[in-house]
Amino acid sequence: MIRSALLLFSILLLTLNTTYSQGLHGNRADYAVYGPNGNYLVIAGDDLLLLNRKNEEVKLLNSYAPATVAASFSADGKFLAAQTKDFGIYIFDLENIDKTPAFFQGIKKKKSVQTRLKFSPDNTMIATSNSEKVVIYNLREANVGRVVLTIPIDPKNSNRSLASFDASKDWKTFFFNMQAIELTLSPKPSYKYGRILSWPRVITNDSVLSKDGSKVAVTGRNGLDQKVFDLKTGATITSNTNLKTFGLTANNDFSKLYMNQAIWDLKTNKLRVLYQNKNINKNTKEQITVANDGEFMIGLYQYDAKANLKENLQNTVTVLNRAVLAGNKVTFYRDYTNSNRFDSYSADIVEGLRGRSSKNLVNKNIISTALATSSDGSYGINHIARIRRRANMTVSSPIFPLGSNKGLAADISANHTIALVNRTNIFAYDLSAGEGSLKNAKALPKIRLTRTIPTSSTVKLNLSPNGKYVAVSFTDNSLDPKFENDNTLVQLYTVGGSLLKSIKTNNVGALAFSNASDRFYYSSGKQLVCYSVVTVNGKDDWSVDDTYSWYTESGAITSIELSEDDQSIAYCAKNGHNKVVKAAFGNDVIKCTLNAEDKITVSK
Pairing of strands 425-430, 417-421: antiparallel
Write out the DSSP string of 37-66.
TSSEEEEEESSEEEEETTS-EEEE--SSSP
47: pLDDT confidence band, cut at 50, 70 and 90?
Answer: confident
Cα–Cα distance measured from residue 155 to residue 158, given in angstroms and rounded to the nearest whole number = 8
- Burial class of residue 513 (count of CB atoms within 10 Å of its CB; 0-12, 13-18, 19+): buried
34 or 200, which is more confident?
Answer: 34
> Which of 86, 75, 111, 113 minimizes the C-alpha distance to 207?
113
CB neighbours (10 Å) of residue 8?
A: 11
Q: What does the pLDDT read at residue 14?
A: 31
Instruction: Read off the pLDDT of residues 351-382 as tens digits, 9 standing for 90 and up.
Output: 544 445 555 554 443 333 445 555 555 555 55
Question: Which amino acid belongs to residue 129?
Answer: S
Give one word for 345, left, alpha or beta, with left for phi > 0 and alpha for psi -120 to 50.
beta
397: pLDDT confidence band, cut at 50, 70 and 90?
Answer: very low
Instruction: Read off the pLDDT of residues 227-285 as tens digits, 9 standing for 90 and up.
Output: 999 999 999 999 999 889 999 999 999 999 999 989 999 999 999 988 655 555 566 78
Interior CA angle at 485 toward 484 and 490, to 5°? 130
Q: Calculate the average pLDDT of the chain.
A: 81
Contact 79, 93 (CB under 8 A): yes
Question: What domains are defined for the chain?
Answer: 29-248 (2.130.10.10), 377-551 (2.130.10.10)
Contact 104, 138 (CB under 8 A): no
When pLDDT is averaged across residues 480-488 and rounded to a whole number, the result is 65
Cα–Cα distance measured from residue 91 to residue 10, given in angstroms and rounded to the nearest whole number = 54
User: Has residue 82 got a pLDDT over 70?
Assistant: yes
Q: Which long-range contacts (CB under 8 A, 24 or more apart) does 119-123 make?
A: 119/72, 119/73, 119/74, 119/75, 119/79, 119/81, 120/171, 120/185, 121/75, 121/169, 121/170, 121/171, 123/74, 123/76, 123/78, 123/79
318: pLDDT confidence band, cut at 50, 70 and 90?
Answer: low
Cα–Cα distance measured from residue 355 to residue 335, given in angstroms and rounded to the nearest whole number = 19
Question: Which amino acid belongs to residue 492?
Answer: L
